[in-house]
Structures are given as C-alpha cells and as structure tokens.
Amino acid sequence: MVEIRHANIHDLDRLDELDKHITWDNMRKCIIDGRVSVVSIEKMIIGWLRYGLFYDMHPFLNLIYFLERYRGMGLGTKLMDEWEIEMHKLGYNIIFTSTQSDETAQHFYRKRGFTDLGEYALPEQAASELLLMKKTGGSK
C-alpha cells in the first residue's frame, strides 16, 4: 500500500542515506519544520519531496526524487498534488522550483502549470538552471 506523509525524525537516517544533496543536520531541521514528505510502500521510503522558503516567504521545491524502479508510476504527480494543496491551505499564493535546463523535469513542472521565470548559471553545473513559478491561489 502506498502512503504519503510528512517525514518524522525516525526517517532521518534513511533519508540521509538516500538524499546526497543535504547534510544530516539540515535534513533534521527540514523534518522538524515539516518540510519533507515521503512516499512509502510497506513502510519503505521510495520517494520524497523537500522544500524551503525562497526569500523567506515563498515555498521553493528543492527536491522531488523517487528510487528508479518506482518512477513513471504517477507517484510524483500524487506527491506534488498533495504538496501544492498543502501550500495552498497554508495560504501561499506562489510556489517556486528550479531544474537544470538539460533535465526532463522541466516538462513535468510545465505540465503542472509552472512557468519559466528565467535561468542562471552555476559554476559547478554544465547546464544552466531554470527558475520556475506557479500560482496556487493562496493568500500570502
């Protein structure tokens, strides 16, 4: 059975093993702040979403990731649906994310109603980073 829920402190070590884009301490803070959601099957984490706040006021999706064998099953769509609903309920009217210009994730985000705001170059990346935004209808 597929479960989508907020991560809890018991998930910390497993998420630290899986997510190489964040330190253990920062992941712990994100979990405590309620900014990590996980997808699990039979209590095994197979995907997760992590976000922060852009300019300390707008949700910014930092990462959505699924283990390879669980991709293409519509679970990312379900996870994003739940996150967007939660952000709307929290009163946020805009959400952001970014993706490298050579990654296919940009198409996923555009299908979901995200629009391009621009791009920027990071020295450690071969491709530029696309900044995307979506209005949620919240009030903040």
Return the residue matching tokens 């064998």. Answer: 69
pLDDT at position 98: 96
- Residue 28 included in any domain: yes
Residue 137 has pLDDT above 90, yes or no: no
For the entire predicted model, the pTM comes to: 0.92
User: Which tens digit of pLDDT belongs to each residue from 45-75?
Assistant: 999 999 999 999 999 999 999 999 999 999 9
pLDDT at position 94: 96
The runs of H, that is alpha helices, within the chain are 12-18, 24-32, 75-89, 105-111
Residue 131 CB contacts under 8 Å (≥ 6 apart), including other chains: 96, 98, 116, 117, 118, 119, 120
- Residue 68 included in any domain: yes
Domain that includes residue 69, residue range: 2-135
Q: CATH code at 6?
A: 3.40.630.30
Residue 138 has pLDDT above 80, yes or no: no
- Residue 140 included in any domain: no
